[in-house]
A and B are shown apart, each in its own frame.
Chain A
Amino acid sequence: MKKTNKPRKITIDPVTRLEGEAKISIFLNDKGDVENAYFQVVELRGFERFCQGRPVEEMPRIVTRICGVCPGAHHMASGKAVDDVYHVDIPSPAKKLRELFYCAHMIHSHLAHFYALSGPDFVVGPDADPAKRNILGIIEKVGLQVGSEVIKHRSYAQNIQGIIGGKATHPVCNLPGGLSKAINSEERKKIEDMAISLVEFSKFSLKLVEDVILKNKGYMDLITSDPYRHETYYMGMVDESNRINFYEGDIRVVNQRGEEYAKFKPKDYLNHIGEHVEPWSYLKFPYLKNVGWKGLIDGPDSGIYRVNSLARLNAAEGIPTLLAQEAYEKMYETLGGKPAHFTLAFNWARIVEMMYASERLLELVRDEEITSKDIRIIPTETPTEGIGCVEAPRGTLYHHYWTDEEGMIEKVNLIVATGQNNGPMCISIKKAAQSLIKKFQVKEELLNMIEMAFRAYDPCLACATHMLPGQMPLEVNIYDSQKNLFNRLKR
């Protein structure tokens, strides 16, 4: 190998298992160490622009198509935004019914991600045969019965959303003033039966985490290792007692030591969040405006913050349901206290949250108001501007609409969950690459290690896609300075 033929650029194209499209480009310096790594999002659809001119009441039915994996989150944030546009406070049963739908939505997303996507790295093993590192490998390890339980409970979570939302994928029930349809007692009973089963399934999943991950020192060492640790700010929605809530509350931001840095109403988000643009990605980089944009670095001086499961738990002081609170305490005890900065622990936090969503689902379906027909009011005020915010499975989601007095959209602003983790994902990928690639030696493990760095964020990945059986090879092409293919790593 001649010196001039040393590889200088590594491209992973496309990055797979991502909702949307992306690629990773890694650049080496003269010594063969990683100089920089870029996580590039390679498309844009422009909902902010083409929603202009649409009637605002249609927005909950249009924005669902931003994401088919978390359409429920966009439908909910949009539903709250259109209520706000018309200055209506929807009836209490309507809020409960929306939150009930939303619990099922969170369960669907978290369950699919854990079992189909991130789970294989831990349950099967980070260094297991890559061909087994998928849902089939999990089934092989824990038994066929678990596989059918996963499929069954994923379909329960979809069914509940379908009963309330009309369709599970791309629900239609929200409109300004509430929901289009109440549930009857027969539907309530169906949901209750599924909720009982989902609570049990969440318990089982927590036990699986304990048995398979916590009892394995190797996994715990990996979770707490330096390549996967970043000290950042964390953001999440909290209730009046600073406990987590996915549907309604204030936004709390904690610093690297876990102290409250900011707490604000969702409607004040523009005072706290700015979005930076880089010419090499279609996805913007949100940051804490009052700390400032300092580039793609972590630490207290950088406005980079994280969202999604672990960030939410870091930003809160507890969980309002019994079993989830127990699991929460156990997680932090094991991880050495709060906040936990370990990227891979997002996966664990997801199961703690699934426990909460299941318990809350059961609570709500047994609420005496849940079958009330008082789920809608007709807005009478002149529409103006509105903001809707929920915790999407992948983090805080803001929808902001401005209309004319007829309720036709004039302007739209969207800050989506995965966007907020864009900066952190870039940092995580670079750190993982830097720790693995030295002196032109690109080790095989790099492939999965880099994937694990972004997979923990569940970057709006098509969660359930790993349900499919089959081998999952990955390839990294390494180019020399003349851009000739120098080496190809394959597993």
Chain B
Amino acid sequence: MKAKKMKLAIVTGSTCEGCGISILDLNEKLLDLTALADIVYWVLAMDFKRHDLEKFKKKDIDICIHHGTIRTSEHVHIANLLRKKSKILISFGSCSCFGGIPGLCNVTNREDIFKAVYKETPSTVNTKFIIPQKKITHNGHELTLPELYDDGMALDQVVAVDYYLPGCPPQVELIERLIPIIKEFLGTGKLPAKGTVIAPEKNLCDECPLERENKIIDKIVRPHKVIPDPKICLLEQGILCIGPATRGGCGAQCINALMPCRGCMGPTTDINDQGAKMIGAIASILGVEKEQDLSSEEVEKLMDQIKDPLGTFYRFTLPVASINKSYKEKGLE
């Protein structure tokens, strides 16, 4: 008897396609996945068109993997369409889970991006400041482009998401965890609880190979200004490492290459805001025992040592951070 197979769709927002490559890095295990599921939509691989996707009935697709940031009107349309057509929707990779690096666009807006890209960059020759248009008639031909939004968003800021698989890109070991989940669903119909993050519920520091002495430091050093001791915690050597506010499960690959964590796995479930957690961690390692007692002046002094706290603490999570809204309103960067 031929085994029952799932229908699997892979769709994207604004993506670098590193997530797609990470799926290919399954190598021969990719065949385990395709033995369980027919891939019914994957723009990058399979040449199915929008029309094919629209033909699916409600909940006709079993599992939809979504990667990339929501950045344009087209991405919102695709997200809504797939939510409707899919039983299970998975945010795959840090862009879909938290907004990711493209979500750093939230420090600015469309107008400023257009100005930088199509006007101020020195190789651009564009005296009339022509910019891409949603709809334009060119030599009598009507051409359209999707609308670029001011802000980048995580998938769950647009539609409900069932599961999350973080990482930039997700590690093969974590992607492999999908296989038994699909098998179980095929066999018994059972699924993990909604909102489950398919990654360990432990902190990166818990799996970090470097030694910690719980010592207090008095200054922050930038990574290119020091050659670190390869055995000792980078943070305790004064190098900003986002490990204390970051979920483990990545294998500490950056740290194994002697580079500090930048938080691509996002926070663990008990942490509400990755950046706020990191500020607390830094306050304690800098010898400030009770960070909640700090005056705003003291916080400022502390932060002065840290170049670009926004782009460092929220590198992958700005669109979902509580700070996102407040600084936008104030027009701060």
Flag whether B253 is at the interface (Cβ < 8 A).
Answer: yes
Q: CB within 8 A of A46: which of B24, B116, B258, B333?
A: B116
- Write the A145-162 contact mask toward B (1 if CB under 8 angstroms, else 0): 000100100110010001
Is A175 in contact with B120, judged by CB distance below 8 angstroms? Answer: no
Given contacts A278-B130, A280-B143, contact A16 B43 (CB under 8 A): yes
Is B105 in contact with A282, judged by CB distance below 8 angstroms? Answer: no
With A68-B20, A69-B18 given, name 15 new contacts (CB 8 A): A42-B145, A43-B71, A48-B113, A64-B16, A65-B100, A67-B16, A148-B28, A166-B254, A166-B259, A175-B224, A276-B125, A279-B136, A413-B123, A414-B121, A468-B46
- Write the B31-59 contact mask toward A (1 if CB under 8 angstroms, else 0): 00010001100111111111110000000
Is B21 in contact with A180, judged by CB distance below 8 angstroms? Answer: no
Q: CB within 8 A of B25: which of A20, A38, A168?
A: A168
A320, B40: Cα distance in complex, Å: 46
A488, B302: Cα distance in complex, Å: 63
Given contacts A65-B100, A378-B224, contact A165 B257 (CB under 8 A): yes
Is B133 in contact with A279, judged by CB distance below 8 angstroms? Answer: yes
Flag whether B322 is at the interface (Cβ < 8 A).
Answer: no
A44, B123: Cα distance in complex, Å: 17
Size class of B's contact patch? 35 or more
- Shortest Cβ distance from residue A332 to the other chain B in the assembled complex, whole angstroms: 32
Is A44 in contact with B139, judged by CB distance below 8 angstroms? Answer: no
Is A466 in contact with B259, judged by CB distance below 8 angstroms? Answer: no
Q: Which residue of B lies closest to A83 (CB)?
A: B224
Is B225 in contact with A378, judged by CB distance below 8 angstroms? Answer: yes
A408, B310: Cα distance in complex, Å: 13
From A218-226, A348-356, A471-479, give the one contacting chain B: A471-479
Flag whether B193 is at the interface (Cβ < 8 A).
Answer: no
Is B132 in contact with A279, judged by CB distance below 8 angstroms? Answer: yes
Q: Which residue of A lies closest to B260 (CB)?
A: A172
- Shortest Cβ distance from residue A58 to the other chain B in the assembled complex, whole angstroms: 7
Given contacts A54-B308, A65-B100, A166-B257, contact A48 B117 (CB under 8 A): yes
A274, B125: Cα distance in complex, Å: 6
Q: Which residue of B lies closest to A463 (CB)?
A: B21
13 A-B pairs (CB sep. < 8 Å)? A13-B49, A52-B108, A54-B311, A55-B311, A64-B18, A166-B259, A176-B224, A270-B122, A274-B124, A276-B125, A280-B136, A415-B123, A468-B34
Flag whether B312 is at the interface (Cβ < 8 A).
Answer: yes
Given contacts A68-B20, A411-B120, contact A470 B254 (CB under 8 A): no
Is A280 in contact with B311, judged by CB distance below 8 angstroms? Answer: no
A17, B17: Cα distance in complex, Å: 11
A25, B224: Cα distance in complex, Å: 48
- Shortest Cβ distance from residue B54 to the other chain A in the assembled complex, whole angstroms: 12
Flag whether A440 is at the interface (Cβ < 8 A).
Answer: no
Is A408 in contact with B24, judged by CB distance below 8 angstroms? Answer: no
> Which residues of chain A are within 8 angstroms of B146 by Cβ–Cβ distance?
42-43
Flag whether B15 is at the interface (Cβ < 8 A).
Answer: yes
> Which residues of chain A are within 8 angstroms of B312 by Cβ–Cβ distance?
55, 58
Is A169 in contact with B18, judged by CB distance below 8 angstroms? Answer: yes
A12, B227: Cα distance in complex, Å: 52
Flag whether A337 is at the interface (Cβ < 8 A).
Answer: no
Given contacts A279-B131, A462-B21, contact A46 B108 (CB under 8 A): yes
Flag whether A275 is at the interface (Cβ < 8 A).
Answer: yes
Flag whether A66 is at the interface (Cβ < 8 A).
Answer: yes
- Write the B186-216 contact mask toward A (1 if CB under 8 angstroms, else 0): 0000000000000000000000000000000
9 smallest CB-CB distances across A and B, nearest first, come from: A68-B18, A166-B257, A46-B113, A465-B45, A68-B16, A49-B116, A462-B17, A65-B101, A280-B143
- Shortest Cβ distance from residue A275 to the other chain B in the assembled complex, whole angstroms: 5
> Which residues of chain B are within 8 angstroms of A488 by Cβ–Cβ distance?
51
Is B122 in contact with A465, judged by CB distance below 8 angstroms? Answer: no
Flag whether A315 is at the interface (Cβ < 8 A).
Answer: no
Flag whether A14 is at the interface (Cβ < 8 A).
Answer: yes
Q: CB within 8 A of A45: which of B19, B52, B105, B308?
A: B105
Q: Which residue of A lies closest to B120 (CB)?
A: A411
> Which residues of chain B are within 8 angstroms of A169 by Cβ–Cβ distance?
18, 21-22, 25, 169
Given contacts A42-B74, A69-B17, A166-B253, contact A175 B138 (CB under 8 A): no
Is B118 in contact with A277, judged by CB distance below 8 angstroms? Answer: yes
